[in-house]
Amino acid sequence: MQNIYNLTRKQLQEYFVSHQDKKFRGDQVFEWLYRKRVSSFQEMTNLKKEVIADLEENFTMKTVEITKIEKDIDVQKYLFRLIDGEKVEAVLMNHDYGNSVCISTEVGCNMGCKFCESGRLKKVRNLETHEMVEQILEIEKENQVRISHVVVMGIGEPFDNYDNLISFIEIVNDDLGIALGSRHITVSTCGIVPKIQEFQELPYQVNLAISLHAPNNEIRNQIMPINKKYPIEVLMETLKAYIKKTNRRVTFEYILLDGINDRKQDAQALADLVRGMNCYINLIPYNETNNISLKRSKKETIFAFYDILKKNKINATIRKEFGSKISAACGQLRSKKEENDGIILHN
């Protein structure tokens, strides 16, 4: 049985038209789901009884369940159990500009980045669209707040689940849906070049973030296997074309790892790499985990790296740290839960 949160408004309209009903019926149902946030079809009081009966026969509703919450100042981390028992995470961050949620797109991840906790367990499956949407709905319900920004940067590589990701964007961007502006939605990818090229053709003005984490192929090959398929020079040419096509700024995420990618020459190489591009660098202090031997850069190293970028007139920030007292690294809460449940993780 199909989960109704999988459907965009257009798909709901098409469903009713194909069932000899009016197109606007899809708008009515969509509005009940996202504006009025009903928990059953019976609450859709302006629908005929036979329409409600048809919905109950052909669709189900929520299947994502919050099983654990960890809290720190300005941040809450959620562990969700899916209908098949698999688990994913999402994070709520309270900023001065609003409430931001970072969601997952896959159970596990096949990208194999050496610093990433979520990638230690290989990809089990894609999340369906509704499983992405419901992360937002459940967090809003739990906190009685509205989410103002969404970052698709949790467990999984979003462009490895491309079709469901695009349906998710369409739903959260829809005026009758969660109604987030395109510029309040950010998608992060480790650099799947063909999907970046496909993404630039869409009408959405969604922000694109690139998990770069190295200034050259030598370092990136060591920590990010994707670079062997799409090396930095190919990725950068693709991004220059993306910027020209969309006129949108690209964010480069750069986790600073002690002794790996944080030397002064690395900062200079990064400045040379992005010079002239409409971009900014988001420097990220690494969240260490018990399962990965990599260490975060020292505070003075981080600031020295930042200073070199600024001296080169590169737009850069050092990301505010969230969740220092909780399982901050992406995938860490899930990993801890599975270890406690006796599940053996892959190395």
**Domains of the chain and CATH, by start:** 2-60 (1.10.150.530), 65-340 (3.20.20.70)
Q: Distance (Å, rounded) from C-alpha 286 to C-alpha 294?
A: 9
Establish whether 89 is a catalytic residue.
yes
DSSP state of 47: S
Give the pLDDT of residue 333: 53
Give the pLDDT of residue 74: 87
Averaged over 100-129, what is the pLDDT? Answer: 92
| Percent of the chain whose predicted confidence (pLDDT) is above 90 | 85
Averaged over 266-294, what is the pLDDT? Answer: 95
Average pLDDT of the chain is 92
List 70, 89, 128, 157, catalytic entry: 89
Residue 345 backbone zone (phi > 0: left; psi -120 to 50: alpha; other: beta) = beta
pLDDT in tens, 166-209: 999 999 999 999 999 999 999 999 999 999 999 999 999 999 99
Q: Distance (Å, rounded) from C-alpha 116 to C-alpha 286?
A: 10
Give the pLDDT of residue 86: 97
Q: Band of the pLDDT at 322, cuts 50, 70, 90?
A: low
- Between 53 and 97, name the one with better pLDDT: 53
Give the pLDDT of residue 62: 85
Q: Distance (Å, rounded) from C-alpha 8 to C-alpha 1?
A: 17
Q: Distance (Å, rounded) from C-alpha 45 to C-alpha 40?
A: 11
Whether the model clears a pTM of 0.75, i.e. scores above it, the answer is yes
Give the pLDDT of residue 290: 83
Tell whether the model's pLDDT for residue 327 goes beyond 70: no
Q: Band of the pLDDT at 344, cuts 50, 70, 90?
A: very low
Supply 288's token pair: 């260490």
Give the pLDDT of residue 96: 86
Establish whether 279 is a catalytic residue.
no
Taken in order 251, 90, 128, 138, the sign of the CA dihedral is negative
pLDDT in tens, 3-57: 999 999 999 999 999 999 999 999 999 999 999 999 999 999 999 999 999 999 9
List 102, 113, 279, 330, catalytic entry: 330
Cβ within 8 Å of residue 311, ≥6 positions away: none
Give the pLDDT of residue 91: 96
Whole-number Cα distances in Å, 94 to 15, 71, 145, 268, 324: 38, 12, 11, 33, 15
Query: H or E element: which one contains 187?
Result: strand 185-189
Tell whether the model's pLDDT for residue 269 goes beyond 60: yes
Give the pLDDT of residue 320: 79
pLDDT in tens, 133-179: 999 999 999 999 999 999 999 999 999 999 999 999 999 999 999 99
| Percent of the chain whose predicted confidence (pLDDT) is above 70 | 92
DSSP state of 296: B
pLDDT in tens, 53-64: 999 999 999 889
Tell whether the model's pLDDT for residue 323 goes beyond 90: no
Q: Distance (Å, rounded) from C-alpha 7 to C-alpha 20?
A: 18
pLDDT in tens, 220-239: 999 999 999 999 999 999 99
DSSP state of 36: S
